[in-house]
A and B are shown apart, each in its own frame.
Chain A
Amino acid sequence: MGGINNRTILIAGIIMSLALIFIAKLFILQVYDTSYKFSAVSNTRREVTQYPSRGLVYDRNGKLLVSNQAVYDVMVVPRDIVPFDSIDFCQSLNISIEQLRERFVQMRKDIRSRKISTYKPSVFFKQLSAEQYGNFQEKLYKFKGFFVQGRTLRKYEYPTAAHVLGYVGEINEQQLKDDAYYTPGDYLGISGIEQTYEHELRGKKGVKYMLVDVHGREKGAFKEGRHDTAAIAGKNITLSLDIELQQYGEQLMQNKVGSIVAIEPASGEILSLISAPNYDPSLLIGRDRSKNFPVLLTDSLKPLLNRAVQSSYPPGSTFKTINALIGLQEGVLKPYTTHECFMGYFARGLSVGCHPHDSPLNLTQSIQHSCNAYYCYEFRNILDNPKYGSIQESFNAWKDYAVKFGFGYKLGADFHNESRGFIPNADWFDRVYRKSWNSLTVISLSIGQGEILTTPLQMANMAAMLANRGQYFTPHIIKNIEDKSLDDTFRKIHDTGIDVQHFAPIVNGMELAVWGGAGSTARIAQIPGISICGKTGTAQNPHGDDHSIFIAFAPKDDPQIAIAVYVENGGFGATWGAPIASLMVEKYLNDTIHPGRKWIEKRMLEGDLINAKQKIQ
């Protein structure tokens, strides 16, 4: 071997030339080009995040619901702190010396656990008021390492619609990981439309680089602001909510537990969405939030729960309309079909009670009087239809209808926490009854009791579907987003697949339930001059008194509003549900309550189901 050959020289040459290239590049980076140095010299250049203002929220009539208010955070760069006059510091911020000490202990803890950096600004004291800011800003030059950064908080113009609007809060660690846009300390929408439309409302953060001297005083823009980016304000949004109707509904529901959902049938727009008890959204702004949130969270009446979309109840007798439509479509029920009823339905050791009314009844009358027996016959005719080979098959056919009406699954409204309700299928009953069940076993479904559960939103959607005679739009609370078109899913018509002629007897029955003679279930809902159609429901409830339910739409031939009302433990549908629903409809359509109905309004406003119950206990 011995001598070094050409190839070895070439390989050695490659190694050496690469080393030369590296050294040249290192020379450029470290010695020649100074632009890389500015980024590291953080004590002469400060990065100030420019927070955009969050988008405004309006109601359907252009009334401002949510706006922003300015607050100021005291920021700190721990490394830059030098000893300072802590009494002066506390006085200008109007805090006690103990609070300050506590803050410093917390800061050291955060530094040790690497939550915050000593080189980068982090929040030291949150949300100064304008006066505090003024006092502090004057003396800022004395406190090296501190500076003030402005940001905005939400401001609610009405103490209403808390569940719809949701709230804004500080980001948590999981959310930080999920979305790189956010940095610790950022605020984002946590529930309601603040959450659903977070991306539209939040805008885009900007950044401003300031030159600061050794005392931390700002000396103007860094490099004439060439590296700055402006914050882009969030988009304004308009809700379909009618804030006056919403306020009125919340008044009607005061001292009650339950929910009201009103929808414009022609568009699926939600006019009001009330969950009672409710709270003032301003309670959850800024620093007050940490104080008020636990109180609301631990309240036994669960005011934070949005019952309109999260709670599921049995639909009760309102569901008779659905069973009637299924029967008509399946051909097992005709408008002229009559059944007899003598205080109930009796079969093989099973009985379903009913209240006194004329007998026999046809379909329209059965709705008008809400006859239980009629629907027991009718429901059994659906399930025992010889067209289907087994109960499983016929039951699943029934279930498929129910799903097409919007039950059993999330409707896809713009609330992240929507519940899906519950519609059992044949498999489910096979498991529960070990495959031994028949139409009688599940007879309570005929009158909207038993296993099925629906949310108030689904019920309002059902009312809208009845108003539209078989079609509905996905309910939604958004009406308009600035510079952006609405989601197509909100413009798509959902068809239930029920022929339109089948609706006449049902709707007539609903009209008669309000306007019919003695024995009609909802005569209290009569609004002079408005052809309102409605159906009561009384949902049995294992935990206490029955829930009072009412669904309605009006006017009959050109429906403007469809509504569902749930009053928990309110008893009969006609006791609370029907009056409240009719008042809402009257308010929306006429804007005033007829003098002859003022007594109903008074009774509803004064009605107290919460405190009365507590007295009994």
Chain B
Amino acid sequence: MPNRKYNRSIDWLTVGLYSLLVLFGWLNIYAANFNPENPIFFDTSHEYFKQLVWIGFSLLFVGMIVITDSKFYVEFSYIFYGITILLLVIVLLFGKEINGAKSWFEIGPIRFQPAELSKMATNLAIARALSRYGFTFSKTSNLLKAAFIVLLPMLLILLQNDTGSALVYSVFIIVFYREGLTGYVLTFGFIAAVVAVLTLIVPNATIIGIIVLAILLILYFKGARAALLKAVIIGGLVLAPSYALYRFVPLNIKAEYVLIPAIAGLSIHLLYTTLSKRFNKFVPTYLLILWSAILLTVSADYFFEDVLSDYQRTRINVLLGIEQDPLGAGYNVNQSKIAIGSGGLYGKGYLQGTQTKFNFVPEQSTDFIYCTVGEEWGFIGSTSVVLLFVFLLLRLLYLAEKQHSTFSRVYGYGVAAIFFFHFAINIGMTIGLAPVIGIPLPFFSYGGSSLWGFTLLLFIFLKLDMNRAELIR
């Protein structure tokens, strides 16, 4: 056969990790459904049987993927993308609402969530766009195109009221970063997240004060000392009367607005000196960061109070420890922590769990399946799952870097990034480190749509990897 030597065998290590995760996941779904008083070992009406059917279909899909030419995925990536976008629009119009999210198709006994498919399709489209000859993020049109491909399905899924699935798309920023998007975006995103969280805990005035001090310190060590002294004096001079006004005249304004005139005076002076004397060129960049942070601080409150809905606000508050609500929003997490914590070092043994049965933990076979792992397999088992995921992710990164074609590399990174997001949020949520966002744990959570979605996502990459020598683009 021609090209025979170019075809590598499938990456059996990844296939092995995949099989381990799916098998272990199924065992835990079985445990979560197991009723010790009524120990029927097999019942076709239960979730574990259905999951077995989904797994069977997954194997079928894997076979189909492996025998399909990998060029097919490259050529048809935009068409796939178009079809899933269409599905997302249709589900928005005619879909069935389950748990408040209008994101399901229901055809007879089969339910199907197009959002699970659209991750794969979006990933293909991104790979196609980024692998175009001459693509670079420094070109605005390119950046906009890539952003559009990600934001369109994200927006549609948000409209379905499925915030969790929509947030997954934000993880493509990692792929973009790998492919050359400036590191500032990642850094800035990180700082923004930290400041946004801080605004909910610490008074705004304090945060602004800390930011100003930090920036001043950086400028001091960067060498802008002469201009700095004068700027601080000017700032102090502006601050004194505005503070006096705030203190002695009963104006109904927030404390942080008192600081702003002073910071403005200080910034103007610094800007003026650095621009007119043409040295310390880094100063404007830092001033920009300073003012963005201030803007963010002031607007985060607005976002939190007016944009987020009640239950989202409560969930975030509970996570940050501002609200104690063990029977309300914190209930799931509290029960989940009790279940995981009760597992101890070695766990209670398979099918011996008590907390993950009888609905102490809600959604125990879908979003909170990790509790069963924690309870029945203990620290040893739950750590093993974390390590399995880490190996899988690192293996995917390794394989991605080995690709000759940009398409395959980008796609590989996308797969790793999506898995990473699900892994981080789902496990983080069950152990109380992330807000309760209902997204499944790949290969573990019960559900056909998600299992198929993740399987397709992974095996398309493995197929691309098999043909890595053929695809050069």
Q: Do A and B bind each other?
A: yes
> A residues engaging B (CB < 8 A)?
1, 4, 7-8, 11-12, 15-16, 18-19, 21-23, 25-27, 29-31, 33, 35-37, 39-42, 78, 111-112, 114, 117-120
Question: Apart from A25-B431, A30-B340, what are 5 other A-B pairs with CB-CB below 8 Å?
Answer: A8-B178, A22-B428, A26-B340, A36-B340, A40-B339
- Does the CB pair A27–B358 fall under 8 Å? no
Contact of B338 among A16, A19, A39, A111 (CB under 8 A): A39
CA distance A18 to B344 in the complex (A): 21
Which residue of chain B has its CB nearest to the CB of A120?
Answer: B358
- Does the CB pair A1–B341 fall under 8 Å? no
CA distance A19 to B392 in the complex (A): 12
Which residue of chain B has its CB nearest to the CB of A9?
Answer: B397
Q: Which of B337-374 contact A (CB under 8 A)?
A: 337-345, 354-355, 358, 374
What residues on A are CB-neighbors of B205 within 8 Å?
A: none
- Chain A to chain B: the 5 pairs with minimum beta-carbon distance, closest first: A36-B341, A40-B342, A30-B379, A39-B338, A29-B341
- Does the CB pair A19–B387 fall under 8 Å? yes
Q: Is B403 an interface position by the 8 A CB rule?
A: yes
CA distance A22 to B388 in the complex (A): 13
Contact of B382 among A11, A30, A118 (CB under 8 A): A30
CA distance A19 to B183 in the complex (A): 23
- Does the CB pair A112–B37 fall under 8 Å? yes
Contact of A23 among B177, B338, B383, B420 (CB under 8 A): B383
Given contacts A21-B433, A118-B37, contact A30 B401 (CB under 8 A): no
- Does the CB pair A111–B428 fall under 8 Å? no
CA distance A16 to B394 in the complex (A): 9
- Does the CB pair B342–A39 fall under 8 Å? yes
- Does the CB pair B433–A111 fall under 8 Å? no
- Does the CB pair A111–B386 fall under 8 Å? no
CA distance A62 to B174 in the complex (A): 74
What residues on A are CB-neighbors of B379 within 8 Å?
A: 26-27, 30-31
- Does the CB pair B174–A26 fall under 8 Å? no
What residues on A are CB-neighbors of B354 within 8 Å?
A: 40, 42, 119
CA distance A572 to B358 in the complex (A): 65
CA distance A498 to B220 in the complex (A): 84
What residues on B are CB-neighbors of A40 within 8 Å?
A: 338-339, 341-342, 354-355
CA distance A112 to B358 in the complex (A): 11
Q: Is B269 an interface position by the 8 A CB rule?
A: no
> B residues engaging A (CB < 8 A)?
35-38, 174, 177-178, 183, 337-345, 354-355, 358, 374, 378-379, 382-383, 386-387, 389-390, 393-394, 397, 401-404, 409, 420, 424, 427-428, 431-433
Give min CB distance, A29 to chain B, whole Å: 4
What residues on B are CB-neighbors of A112 within 8 Å?
A: 37-38
- Does the CB pair A33–B341 fall under 8 Å? yes
What residues on A are CB-neighbors of B355 within 8 Å?
A: 40
- Does the CB pair B401–A37 fall under 8 Å? no
CA distance A431 to B103 in the complex (A): 46
CA distance A571 to B315 in the complex (A): 67
Given contacts A4-B401, A114-B358, A118-B37, contact A31 B342 (CB under 8 A): no
Which residue of chain A has its CB nearest to the CB of B383?
Answer: A23
- Does the CB pair B38–A111 fall under 8 Å? yes
What residues on A are CB-neighbors of B433 within 8 Å?
A: 21-22, 25
Which residue of chain A has its CB nearest to the CB of B174?
Answer: A11
- Does the CB pair A111–B37 fall under 8 Å? yes
CA distance A25 to B36 in the complex (A): 30
Q: Offer 16 A-B interface pairs, CB within 8 angstroms, sorted by A.
A: A1-B402, A7-B177, A12-B394, A15-B393, A15-B394, A15-B420, A22-B386, A22-B428, A26-B431, A29-B341, A35-B341, A36-B341, A40-B341, A111-B38, A112-B38, A120-B358
Chain B binding surface SS class: helix
Contact of B401 among A1, A33, A78 (CB under 8 A): A1
What residues on A are CB-neighbors of B35 within 8 Å?
A: 114
Given contacts A7-B177, A12-B397, contact A119 B386 (CB under 8 A): no
- Does the CB pair A1–B404 fall under 8 Å? yes
Given contacts A11-B174, A25-B433, A26-B374, contact A37 B38 (CB under 8 A): no
CA distance A29 to B35 in the complex (A): 26
Which residue of chain A has its CB nearest to the CB of B186?
Answer: A10
Give min CB distance, B332 to chain A, whole Å: 14
Give min CB distance, B345 to chain A, whole Å: 5
CA distance A25 to B433 in the complex (A): 9
Which residue of chain A has its CB nearest to the CB of B38?
Answer: A112
- Does the CB pair A119–B358 fall under 8 Å? yes
What residues on A are CB-neighbors of B432 within 8 Å?
A: 25
Which residue of chain A has its CB nearest to the CB of B348?
Answer: A40
CA distance A575 to B386 in the complex (A): 88
CA distance A117 to B354 in the complex (A): 11
What residues on A are CB-neighbors of B424 within 8 Å?
A: 18
- Does the CB pair B38–A31 fall under 8 Å? no
- Does the CB pair A117–B397 fall under 8 Å? no
CA distance A4 to B337 in the complex (A): 38
What residues on A are CB-neighbors of B378 within 8 Å?
A: 30
Given contacts A36-B338, A40-B338, contact A19 B386 (CB under 8 A): yes
What residues on A are CB-neighbors of B404 within 8 Å?
A: 1
What residues on B are CB-neighbors of A120 within 8 Å?
A: 358
- Does the CB pair A23–B403 fall under 8 Å? no
CA distance A149 to B401 in the complex (A): 66
Give min CB distance, A118 to chain B, whole Å: 5
- Does the CB pair A37–B358 fall under 8 Å? no
CA distance A11 to B398 in the complex (A): 11
What residues on A are CB-neighbors of B397 within 8 Å?
A: 8, 11-12, 15
CA distance A15 to B387 in the complex (A): 11
Which of B38, B345, B387, B409 is most buried by chain A, counting CB atoms within 10 A of its CB? B38
Which residue of chain A has its CB nearest to the CB of B180?
Answer: A7
What residues on B are CB-neighbors of A30 within 8 Å?
A: 340-341, 343-345, 374, 378-379, 382
Which of B174, B354, B403 is most buried by chain A, counting CB atoms within 10 A of its CB? B354
CA distance A75 to B386 in the complex (A): 42
Give min CB distance, A526 to chain B, whole Å: 64
CA distance A36 to B428 in the complex (A): 17
Give min CB distance, A277 to chain B, whole Å: 45
Contact of A31 among B178, B345, B428 (CB under 8 A): B345
Give min CB distance, A607 to chain B, whole Å: 58
CA distance A468 to B346 in the complex (A): 80
What residues on A are CB-neighbors of B342 within 8 Å?
A: 36-37, 39-41
What residues on B are CB-neighbors of A31 within 8 Å?
A: 344-345, 379
CA distance A481 to B158 in the complex (A): 48
Which residue of chain B has its CB nearest to the CB of A30?
Answer: B379
Which residue of chain A has its CB nearest to the CB of B374?
Answer: A30
CA distance A37 to B431 in the complex (A): 14
Give min CB distance, A179 to chain B, whole Å: 13
Give min CB distance, A567 to chain B, whole Å: 53
Contact of A7 among B38, B178, B383 (CB under 8 A): B178
Which residue of chain B has its CB nearest to the CB of A39?
Answer: B338
What residues on B are CB-neighbors of A78 within 8 Å?
A: 37
Give min CB distance, B391 to chain A, whole Å: 10
What residues on A are CB-neighbors of B431 within 8 Å?
A: 22, 25-26, 29
Give min CB distance, A36 to chain B, whole Å: 3
Which residue of chain B has its CB nearest to the CB of A40?
Answer: B342
What residues on A are CB-neighbors of B374 within 8 Å?
A: 26, 29-30
Contact of A8 among B36, B386, B401, B427 (CB under 8 A): B401
- Does the CB pair B337–A29 fall under 8 Å? yes
What residues on B are CB-neighbors of A111 within 8 Å?
A: 37-38
CA distance A1 to B403 in the complex (A): 8
Give min CB distance, B224 to chain A, whole Å: 29
CA distance A230 to B309 in the complex (A): 33
What residues on B are CB-neighbors of A29 within 8 Å?
A: 337, 340-341, 374, 431
Give min CB distance, B423 to chain A, whole Å: 8
CA distance A4 to B403 in the complex (A): 12
CA distance A27 to B431 in the complex (A): 11
What residues on A are CB-neighbors of B339 within 8 Å?
A: 40
CA distance A39 to B360 in the complex (A): 11
CA distance A359 to B387 in the complex (A): 106
CA distance A41 to B341 in the complex (A): 11
Which of A26, A42, A78, A111 is most buried by chain B, counting CB atoms within 10 A of its CB? A26
